[in-house]
Amino acid sequence: MTVSSEAVLLLSRLQGIEIPPEDVEDVRVALSAHLESVKVLEELDLTDVEPIVHFDPRWR
């Protein structure tokens, strides 16, 4: 999945962070690579896998 520079800027505004113009391309490339690596998980057959839910008691 390729992320556009416009999407990076929109996400940064939504999160209330400022990304300097000279860093937008680096963030775009990194975010695109991250999304591609997560995309591999969509190919896994998890039909017979039960979800594991574990909460740390400190999170209460």
Long-range CB contacts for residues 27-34, cutoff 8 Å, separation at least 24: 28/3, 28/4, 31/3, 32/1, 32/2, 32/3
Give the pLDDT of residue 50: 84
Mean pLDDT value across residues 11-31 = 97
Quick one: what percent of the chain has pLDDT higher than 90?
Answer: 63
At residue 52, does pLDDT exceed 90?
A: no
Whether the model clears a pTM of 0.75, i.e. scores above it, the answer is: no
Task: Tell me the angle at which helices 24-39 and 5-15 cross, rounded to the nearest 10 degrees.
Answer: 90
Residue bearing the bigger pLDDT, 7 or 43 = 7
